[in-house]
Amino acid sequence: MILCIDAGNTNIKYGIFDGDELVASFRVATELNRTSDQYGTAIIDMLAIKGITADNIDGAIISSVVPSLNYTIAHMCSAYLGVEPLVVGAGLKTEHNLRVDNAREVGADRIVNDVAAIKKYGAPLIVIDFGTATTFNVINEQCEFIGGAIAPGIRGSVESLASGTAKLPRVEIETPKSAIGKNTTTNMQSGIVFGFAGLVDYIVKKIKRELKHPHVRVVATGGFSEIIAHEISCIDIVDKLLTLQGLKYVYDLNTEVRK
C-alpha cells in the first residue's frame, strides 16, 4: 500500500492506494504548529478506522505547497509508518515538461494534477483546481505545461468578506435558488457561486482563444469543482481524485526508475 499526501494551505489530504485502487482517503486541517508526533498519532488513528496498520504501508509520496511542513510530514512518515517518503520537487521524475519562465515557481500540486490529467484524458487540456487558490493549468498538444492563471480561492473569498466587514456573516458555500438574493446569506451565496462561475467561464474562453484550440477539454478538481461545474458548460470533466492519483503515478514512475 502506498500513502499519497497532498499538503495544502488549508487541508492535508491523504490517500492510500492498494495497487492502482484508492482504498481509503481522508483529510485534516493544515496546522503549522502541529508536531510530527501529533500528525503521526492522528494518521495512525485514521488508518485504524479504515482497518489499515502502519505495517501495511510500503511507501509514501508528498506534494506540498507549505515548505515549513515538509520536514514535519516527512519525519512523521519515517517515525510512525517506517517509510522514507518521496517529495515532489527538483530531482524527482515526472515526465512533465514545464515551458514557463521559472519552473521552480510551479507548485507541486499543479504538477501532479497535470500528470494525472494527461495520463487519464490526453492533451491539450485546461486543468482547474478549486483549492485555497483557484488555479488554471494550460497544457498544450505536446503535453507541456505552458502557464495559466491563479485567482483567489472560493473559501478564502468568503472568509475575506466576513472578516473584512462588520455585518457580513460566514455562510455555507452552496448554490442559491436565484441570483437575486432575498437576505444577506443568499446575497453572499449568489455573489460567490455565480461570481466564480463567471470568472471561470471568462478565463477559460480567453485561454481557448489564445491557444487557438476551441475544443480543448477542461478538467476540474478540488472541493468546489462540482458546484461551479453545475453552473457553466465550459467544464467537461469533474475529477475529485486527480491530485492523489497524480501522486500515485509519480510514485510509480520514480520507484520503477530506482528498480
The CATH number of the domain where 199 resides is what?
3.30.420.40
State phi, psi for 61 to the nearest 5 degrees.
-145, 145
Beta strand 59-64 pairing with 86-87: parallel
Distance in angstroms (rounded) separating the CA atoms of residues 101 and 196: 28
Residue 199 amino acid letter:
L
Residue 57 lies inside a defined structural domain of this protein: yes
* 142 assigned to some structural domain: yes
Domain final residue pick, 87, 113, 148? 87
Domain with 127, as residue range(s), is 103-245
Residues 64 and 165 in one domain: no
Which is catalytic among the residues 6, 37, 55, 109? 109
> Looking at the domain assignment, is residue 259 inside a domain?
no
Residue 165 sits in the same domain as residue 201:
yes
Same domain, 126 and 182: yes
Tally of domains within the chain:
2
User: Where does a domain end: 32, 58, 87?
Assistant: 87
109 assigned to active site: yes
Q: Is the same domain home to 111 and 64?
A: no
Contacts of 232 (CB under 8 A, 6+ apart): 197, 200, 201
On whether residue 211 sits in a domain, the answer given is yes
pLDDT at 85: 96
Residues 65 and 113 reside in one and the same domain: no
Specify whether 63 is located in the same domain as 169: no
Give the burial class of 163: count Cβ atoms within 10 A of its Cβ; 0-12 exposed, 13-18 middle, 19 or more buried. exposed
Say whether 30 sits in a helix, a strand or coil: coil
Residue 187 lies in a domain: yes
| HEC-encoded secondary structure of 76-89 | HHHHHHCCCCEECC
Q: Are residues 78 and 187 in the same domain?
A: no
Instruction: Flag whether 95 is in a domain.
Output: no
| pLDDT given at position 258 | 47
Residue 257 domain-assigned? Answer: no
- Same domain flag for 76 and 152: no
- My answer on whether 121 and 39 are in the same domain is no
Count of beta carbons in the 10 Å neighbourhood of residue 71: 10
Identify whether residues 109 and 217 lie together within a single domain.
yes
Sign, CA dihedral 249-252-256-257, equals positive
**Cα(first)–Cα(last) distance of the chain, in Å?**
17
CA-based nearest residue to 12, from 49, 65, 75? 65
In a domain, 97, yes or no: no
The answer on 208 and 123 residing in a single domain is yes
DSSP letter assigned to residue 142: T
58 bridge partner residues: none
Mark which of 87, 118, 151 sits at the end of a domain.
87
The answer on 155 and 108 residing in a single domain is: yes
- Averaged pLDDT, groups of 10, the chain, 259 residues long: 94 94 92 93 93 95 93 96 93 90 92 96 96 95 96 92 88 94 95 97 95 89 95 96 96 75
112's grid cell: 501532479
231 within 8 A of 175, measured Cβ to Cβ: yes
